[in-house]
Amino acid sequence: MAPLLTMSGITKSFPGVRALDGVDLEVEPGEVHCLLGQNGAGKSTLIKVLSGAHQPDEGEITWQGSTVRLTDPVAAMRLGIATIYQELDLVEHLSVTENVYLGHEIATRGFVRPREARNRTAKLLARLGHAEIDPGALVGSLPAAGQQIVSMARALSHEVRLIVMDEPSAALDPDEVDNLFRIVEDLTSEGVAVVYISHRLEEIRRIGDRVSVLKDGRVAASGLPASTTDTRKVVSLMTGRDIEYVFPERRPQPAADADPVPAAASPTPLLRAEGLTREGEFAPFDLELHAGEIVGLAGLVGSGRSEILETLYGARRPTAGSIFINGEPLRLGSVPAAVRAGIGLAPEERKAQALLMLESVTRNVSVSSLSRFSTGGWLDRSTERSAALAGTRDLSLSPDDPDRPVRTLSGGNQQKVVLARWLLRKCRVLLLDEPTRGVDVGARAELYAVIRRLADEGVAVLMVSSEVPEVLGLADRVLVIREGRIVHTAPAPELDEHRVLDLVMEGNPTC
Amino acid sequence: MLSTTTSPGKGSPPPPAKSRAKVAVGRLDLGHVSLVAVLAILTLVGGLTKPSEFLSTDNLQLILTQASVIGVVTVGVTFVIIGGGIDLSVGAIVALCSVWATTVATQEYGLLGILGCAVLVGVGCGLINGMLIAYGPMVPFIATLAMLASARGLAEQMSDGKTQIVTVNSVLDLGLPDAYVLGVPPLVMIFAAVSIIGWLVLNRTTFGRRTVAIGGNPEASRLAGIAVKRQRLMLYLLSGLCCGIAAFMLIVLTGSGQNSNGNLYELDAIAAAIIGGTLLSGGRGTITGSVLGVLVFTTITNLFALNNLESAVQQIAKGAIIVAAVLIQKGRKTP
């Protein structure tokens, strides 16, 4: 079969970085071609070249047999190349229909034809298996999964031959991922090719036909069969290591075995929540977090898990219940009070909720501890800088440059900056919301080791993650939450992935 | 205990000294340099067209004095904008302060009474702005637009639309050449002091750091434990305080208080901050840039007046400079 798309010798440099160094990629009609690589391997740059957002310095793109130049996104769109970016690029205040036809409105002599556009949108949504989405609804009112469907409908509103999907499953729940895969299968059966980017290796084995691996701007392997290539091999191509997830060892718990009455021996919990509730978000629950313990909160997006973390942190005010830190009651609904009591939060959306993107690493690390480096409001900048530097070195932040703008760091290193912020604050309770989202496989192992080390040093960690293996591998104790209720609590070694998934989705502990 | 993973390149020592030097060079940014260049060109033009008048001590003192009043207001506005807000009410607050501080009743308390009244009224207006914006919560544009209307209205009602002449000699003396120290008018010294204190507060204190943080990313600042609302309130208090000081300076300068004072100061102050490199969306800006911006605008005004050009031409020139400055800053950001 003649390839649909051939990219050869694509090179793209940015000041100081050679993002792509002679990359070749070949995509055939009707295939799902998976693109793997760590953050910074060049995936994003490659798809930006493919979508016309970046111009390559060298190299040639052949589309259906003829050489083309993709001078801008419109040129790519005209050829039938659509891209669905990781950060959805929708206008929240416009309706579904308006978003789908944004930029190519259906119009006669400049007058839009809303009914026609609406009908066509409804058809596209039905084709995507989501006829229930109202074409007139505001996009901002839809959940993340719905917005992704709108994004896909927008891609399909063009005569599309190739769809690039950048981490489409990152914000989706398992059943939504199933629907996504069904859509991908429908598309490929019609001859549309899909370039699929994901960090989740198991997905690639399920959906992919062929796999290409990028490493440091070069192709490490191309056209490997997706279903039969060994995970180990793929991971080693990406990282040069033979590991997928490396979890640090749990601390042996001799106290539990040796002491017949562990309850009496265990000191006051660092954090205790009693009957904590937020109406409409989560039902009353009790929780104890002890020093040195990692507790995992497993649940779907929207199950109330992030809301629980934010309520413990004071960013939301509970409708009932109380929180005690070291036995002392905590003022509810106040972030400064929680921070003073020694609680730290690494929120889900790092860029939007945690980082000052314009600022340096130092300033991002020190922002929660400014009073420690000041007398009467006057900052001692050299102490601040050296303390922040010590913190980031301790977590082996790379590159090791405290003045670097935090926006230039990779996802894993940005997360380390957030952790360093709370280490500097000497926080005792650390709340982590999806700590490894957008972090590549190699950097994950490092983050896991850091989190475990913090626990060993006496921090109590409460961690939320959609990735069950992560919760099971890292946590000592696992709480399973479903529709705002904690349905099960057990030590992690007593659970396995199937059991947790069943609990998460069905709430049924027997199986 | 830990299965440590080592990765290549992590052990290499950083070059902190070098990158610090780079940051220092980066601070001397193109925007500031080009503003200084514009000032130099304006001086050159002044020196060539009106050599005896433009470069005279009197005229330079006049330029600096005129820059001082709007300059103090601009320092406050710069803080507000860096913190992610906007203050449209500064001109009206200056008017209200100048009227309130020159009522017959206030003048009985002498210099300190006038100064204290101007500052208190300014801070009071700032408090109302800040409370509405931080705890209302209202959009800064709307809250300060409302303040703009009501403060100016109150000023007119209070003064009955008349100019209130100041009879306190100790106040009037501050504006006379006898009060100049080494040729520097006291008002210019106030401006210099406010600018230096502003620079220190922005760059060397937790207050400044928090201002930049809440302007750059309010949600992240809140989740980092910063009391965002309180910080917002403080910024409008600061802006009000600057207005009070500026009103006092205006009283000294004109020997009177009137409800038309400070007309369009909000636009001049915002424009000066913008050409000085302050991002209107917040999170970035400098006091140095704002001071340079004020000096550029005042020098243009002076130059045009000396050459008997109409103020219309002057307004066009100002507009062109705003556009040029913003374009230069844009070019700098995307390398």
Binary contact (B2, A363; C-beta < 8 A): no
In a domain, B26, yes or no: no
| Strand, helix or coil for residue A282 | strand
Short-list B160, B19, B109, CA closest to A362: B19
Binary contact (A367, B7; C-beta < 8 A): no
Binary contact (A248, B283; C-beta < 8 A): no
Ranking A9-18, A207-216, A293-302, B45-54 by mean pLDDT, the lowest is: A9-18
Q: Are A448 and A247 in contact (CB under 8 A)?
A: yes
Any bridge partners for residue A107, and if so which? A112
Binary contact (A367, B222; C-beta < 8 A): no
Ranking A79-93, A148-162, A298-312, A407-421 by mean pLDDT, the lowest is: A79-93
Q: Could you tell me the sign of the dihedral formed by the alpha carbons of A364, A369, A371, A374, in that order?
A: negative
Binary contact (B227, A358; C-beta < 8 A): no
Residues of A in contact with B209 (CB under 8 A): 363, 367, 370, 379
CB neighbours (10 Å) of residue B41?
Answer: 12
Residues of B in contact with A377 (CB under 8 A): 205-207
Helices A411-424/A441-456 angle, 10° precision: 10
Max Cα–Cα distance, chain B, nearest Å: 82
* Residue numbers of the domain that contains B194: 32-330
Short-list A287, A435, A290, CA closest to A354: A435
Q: Are B205 and A378 in contact (CB under 8 A)?
A: yes
d(CA A248, nearest CA chain B) in Å: 5
Give B 175-214 residues with CB within 8 A of chain A. Answer: 204-207, 209-210, 212-213
| CATH number of this structure's domain A5-239 | 3.40.50.300
Phi, psi angles (nearest 5°) of residue B210 = -70, -35
CA–CA separation, B160 and A156 (whole Å): 67
d(CA A59, nearest CA chain B) in Å: 23
In this prediction, residues A260-278 reach a mean pLDDT of: 74
Binary contact (A336, B227; C-beta < 8 A): yes
CA–CA separation, B22 and A401 (whole Å): 12
What pLDDT score was predicted for residue A257?
42
In this prediction, residues B157-176 reach a mean pLDDT of: 91
In this prediction, residues B236-257 reach a mean pLDDT of: 96
Sheet of strand A429-433: strand arrangement: A343-346, A429-433, A460-465, A294-298, A477-482, A485-491
Residue-wise pLDDT for A23-50, tens only, equals: 999 999 999 999 987 666 788 889 889 9
pTM of whole model > 0.95?
A: no
CA–CA separation, B303 and B50 (whole Å): 9
In a domain, B2, yes or no: no
Domain boundaries, chain A: 5-239, 350-426
Mutate to test the interface with A, among B209, B211, B333 (most CBs of A within 10 A): B209
Helices B90-100/B265-275 angle, 10° precision: 130
Binary contact (B205, A379; C-beta < 8 A): yes
Tokens representing A101 are 């036809």
| pLDDT beyond 70 at A240 | no
B109 touches chain A (CB under 8 A): no
CB neighbours (10 Å) of residue B6?
Answer: 8
Residues of A in contact with B12 (CB under 8 A): 400
**Residue at B48: amino acid letter:** L
CB neighbours (10 Å) of residue B37?
Answer: 11
From first CA to last CA, the distance across chain B in angstroms is 46
Binary contact (B223, A246; C-beta < 8 A): no
The phi-psi region of residue A327 (left if phi > 0; otherwise alpha if psi is between -120 and 50; otherwise beta) is left
Task: List CB contacts of A386: < 8 A, sequence separation 6 or more.
Answer: none
Q: Are B158 and B121 in contact (CB under 8 A)?
A: no
Residue of B nearest to A339 (CA): B225
Short-list A199, A252, A240, A247, CA closest to A216: A240
Higher per-residue pLDDT: A231 or A187 = A187
Three-class SS string for A65-86?
CEEECCCCHHHHHHHCEEEECC
Any bridge partners for residue A138, and if so which? A95
- Any idea what the CATH number is for the domain that residue B206 is in? 1.10.3470.10
Q: Could you tell me the sign of the dihedral formed by the alpha carbons of A417, A421, A422, A426, in that order?
A: positive
CA–CA separation, B140 and A452 (whole Å): 45
CB neighbours (10 Å) of residue B154?
Answer: 18
In a domain, B3, yes or no: no
Residues of B in contact with A249 (CB under 8 A): 1-3
| pLDDT beyond 60 at B233 | yes
- What is the interface pTM, i.e. ipTM, of the complex? 0.80
In this prediction, residues B297-307 reach a mean pLDDT of: 90
In a domain, B151, yes or no: yes
Residues of B in contact with A15 (CB under 8 A): 335
What pLDDT score was predicted for residue A254?
45
What pLDDT score was predicted for residue A252?
63
**Number of domains chain B is built from:** 1
What pLDDT score was predicted for residue A140?
87
Omega prior to A399 cis, within 30 of 0: yes
| pLDDT beyond 90 at B14 | no
Any bridge partners for residue A374, and if so which? A379
In a domain, B8, yes or no: no
Tokens 């006669």 correspond to what residue?
A108
In a domain, B18, yes or no: no
CB neighbours (10 Å) of residue A465?
Answer: 23
Binary contact (A315, B223; C-beta < 8 A): yes
Sheet of strand A210-215: strand arrangement: A81-84, A162-166, A193-197, A32-36, A210-215, A218-225
Residue-wise pLDDT for A308-323, tens only, equals: 999 999 999 999 999 9
Q: What is the DSSP letter of A489?
A: E
| pLDDT beyond 50 at B170 | yes
Residues of A in contact with B284 (CB under 8 A): 358
